[in-house]
Amino acid sequence: MQLQSIVTTPATVGSTITDDEAGALARTTVNLFKAWNLTDLEACILLGGISARTWARWKEGAIGRIDRDLRTRMAHLMGIHKGLRYLFTEPARGYAWIRKPNATFGGQSALDLMLRGEISDLAAMREWLDAERGAW
Number of domains in the chain: 1
Residue 19's domain spans which residues? 3-132
pLDDT by position in tens, the chain (length 136): 333 333 334 444 446 889 999 999 999 999 999 999 999 999 999 999 999 999 999 999 999 899 999 999 999 999 999 999 999 999 999 999 999 999 999 999 999 999 999 999 999 999 999 998 875 5
Distance, in Å, from the CA atom of 11 to the CA atom of 1, rounded to the nearest integer, reads 19
Among positive and negative, which fits the CA dihedral 38, 118, 122, 114?
negative
Instruction: Give the pTM.
Output: 0.85
